[in-house]
């Protein structure tokens, strides 16, 4: 009778009603080598379960009848877990046995530098930003990840993507995960295409990173890549003169590159040095890599940005000078329109505030007339 009734007893304990549909969620951290009692106390402290003793009894019964749950103390996986208040014992234990932790989603946009990735990892994941940068510069790690040895960092080889990051993941693990994603995205057929262009894979990624920084519209990526390709492959090659490479050399973001910035002594300054810079200036996305591999065929050698982010392309220096004048005029008009819009908004806000104040003052001056009782 005892053996026959025990499964029913266990089933009754484990088949609690469970959490409600709108139950709040709580997070707990399960350290390494945590005992089942530690788990029970933590769950109770976060109100996920009502009674640690009942949880432990349920766990023991589950381990008695189901082999998967035997020796729980030896098989619980550390990490961060998310459970609704009132979650069932079996669901909790299954998650901890399988390591179904509450992972973070970490998104790296196209065009991020390693420094920007490190800052984002610090804000989102609580990761040491300096340790992330150090991991990206680790020559041993780069060699294991098949990143060229002749570059200083993994810049350009950490693919911009949304990653699932498990709790406690180290900067080295995250860098490796991102580099492996780059390898997965790179089509080996692209190496043959790069050779057709007279470029190495590293040079393609470098060019793609510049395209990523310049392009604001997807439709212009191949056009911009074509401009740089034309400059590189001319009979008398021209310097690329790409502002994003100067910003990278400065080591800080600036909205506009000034004349004095163009004199910075750096191999990344493409105003002073011919050809491509030593390496990528950011992590380009797939679209920019494809643009660098299949640049548009045209005769443009110059381009300048309009205020809306689109570009004007020119074949000659004279035409480019005219385009620059147009771009400056458009920029001046855009700035004036912005100032007018701000002033109009301020004026409207002032008018509304005055009207509200006048209404309040008028309400104060009007005293209510007391009503007289009607005679019977």
What CATH number does the domain containing 49 carry? 3.30.1490.480
| Residues 181 and 193 occupy one common structural domain | no
Q: Which pLDDT belongs to residue 341?
A: 74
The predicted model gives 237-258 an average pLDDT of 93
Residue 305 falls inside a structural domain = no
The predicted model gives 194-218 an average pLDDT of 96
Residue 235 falls inside a structural domain = yes
Predicted confidence (pLDDT) per residue in 137-190, tens digit:
999 999 888 888 778 899 999 999 999 888 778 999 999 999 999 999 999 999
According to DSSP H, which parts of 71-220 are helical?
A: 72-75, 89-98, 114-125, 129-137, 139-144, 171-185, 189-197, 201-214
| Residues 196 and 293 occupy one common structural domain | yes
| Residues 84 and 168 occupy one common structural domain | no
Q: Which pLDDT belongs to residue 30?
A: 84
Distance CA 109, CA 359 (A): 50
Task: Let me know if 32 is exposed, middle or buried by CB neighbors in 10 A (0-12, 13-18, 19+).
Answer: exposed
| Residues 171 and 194 occupy one common structural domain | no
Domain limit, last residue, from 98, 129, 161:
98
CB contact set of 343 (below 8 Å; sequence gap of 6+): none
Q: Which pLDDT belongs to residue 72?
A: 80
| Residues 199 and 121 occupy one common structural domain | no
Q: Which pLDDT belongs to residue 8?
A: 44
The predicted model gives 116-145 an average pLDDT of 94
The predicted model gives 294-320 an average pLDDT of 95
Residue 320 falls inside a structural domain = no
Grouping H, G, I as helix, E, B as strand and the rest as coil, residue 147 is coil
Residue, of 177 and 2, whose pLDDT is higher: 177
Residue 316 falls inside a structural domain = no
Distance CA 39, CA 121 (A): 28
Domain that residue 151 falls in: 104-185
Domain limit, last residue, from 269, 298, 327:
298
Residue 110, pLDDT > 80, answer: yes
Q: Which of 21-25, 57-61, 333-337 has the lowest mean pLDDT?
A: 333-337
CB atoms closer than 10 angstroms to residue 18: 13
| Residues 77 and 156 occupy one common structural domain | no
Q: Which pLDDT belongs to residue 372?
A: 56
Residue 238 falls inside a structural domain = yes
Domain limit, last residue, from 135, 161, 185:
185
Distance CA 151, CA 137 (A): 9
Q: Which pLDDT belongs to residue 4?
A: 46
CB of 69 within 8 A of CB of 61? no
| Residues 21 and 41 occupy one common structural domain | yes
- Phi, psi values for residue 80, rounded to 5°: -110, 130
Q: Which pLDDT belongs to residue 302?
A: 97
| Residues 70 and 55 occupy one common structural domain | yes
Distance CA 325, CA 303 (A): 12
Predicted confidence (pLDDT) per residue in 320-364, tens digit:
999 999 999 998 887 887 777 777 777 676 666 676 777 777 777
Distance CA 257, CA 268 (A): 14
| Residues 114 and 92 occupy one common structural domain | no
C-alpha dihedral, 329 to 331 to 337 to 341, nearest 10°: -170
Q: Which of 112-116, 254-258, 264-268, 331-335 has the lowest mean pLDDT?
A: 331-335
Residue 327 falls inside a structural domain = no
Residue 304 falls inside a structural domain = no
| Residues 174 and 204 occupy one common structural domain | no
| Residues 71 and 43 occupy one common structural domain | yes
Question: How many domains, in total, are found in the chain?
Answer: 3
Token pair 């998967």 is found at 68
| Residues 18 and 57 occupy one common structural domain | yes
Residue 325 falls inside a structural domain = no
């Amino acid at each position: 009778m005892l053996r026959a009734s025990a499964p029913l007893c266990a089933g009754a304990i484990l088949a609690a009603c469970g959490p409600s549909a709108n139950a709040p969620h709580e997070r707990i951290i399960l350290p390494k080598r945590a005992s089942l009692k530690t788990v029970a106390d933590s769950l109770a402290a976060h109100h996920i379960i009502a009674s640690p003793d009942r949880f432990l009894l349920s766990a023991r019964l589950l381990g008695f009848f189901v082999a998967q749950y035997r020796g729980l103390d030896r098989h619980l996986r550390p990490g961060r877990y998310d459970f609704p208040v009132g979650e069932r014992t079996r669901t909790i234990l299954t998650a901890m046995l399988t390591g179904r932790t509450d992972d973070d989603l970490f998104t790296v946009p196209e065009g991020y530098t390693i420094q920007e990735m490190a800052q984002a990892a610090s804000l989102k994941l609580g990761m040491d930003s300096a340790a992330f940068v150090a991991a990206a510069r680790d020559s041993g790690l780069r060699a294991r990840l098949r990143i060229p040895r002749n570059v200083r960092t993994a810049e350009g080889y950490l693919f911009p993507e949304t990653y699932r990051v498990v709790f406690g993941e180290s900067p080295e693990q995250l860098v490796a995960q991102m580099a492996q994603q780059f390898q997965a995205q790179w089509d080996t057929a692209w190496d043959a295409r790069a050779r057709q262009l007279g470029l190495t894979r590293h040079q393609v990624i470098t060019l793609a990173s510049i395209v990523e920084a310049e392009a604001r519209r997807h439709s212009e990526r191949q056009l911009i890549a074509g401009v740089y390709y034309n400059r590189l492959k001319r009979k008398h090659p021209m310097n690329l003169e790409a502002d994003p490479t100067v910003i990278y050399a400065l080591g800080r973001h600036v909205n506009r590159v000034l004349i004095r910035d163009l004199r910075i002594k750096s191999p990344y300054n493409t105003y002073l040095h011919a050809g491509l810079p030593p390496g990528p200036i950011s992590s380009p996305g797939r679209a920019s890599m494809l643009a660098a591999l299949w640049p548009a065929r045209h005769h443009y050698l110059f381009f300048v940005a309009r205020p809306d982010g689109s570009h004007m392309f020119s074949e000659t220096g004279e035409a480019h000078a005219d385009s620059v004048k147009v771009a400056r005029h458009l920029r001046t008009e855009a700035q004036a329109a912005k100032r007018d819009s701000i002033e109009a908004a301020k004026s409207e806000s002032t008018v509304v505030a005055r009207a509200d104040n006048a209404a309040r003052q008028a309400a104060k001056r009007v005293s209510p007339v007391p009503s007289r009782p009607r005679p019977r």
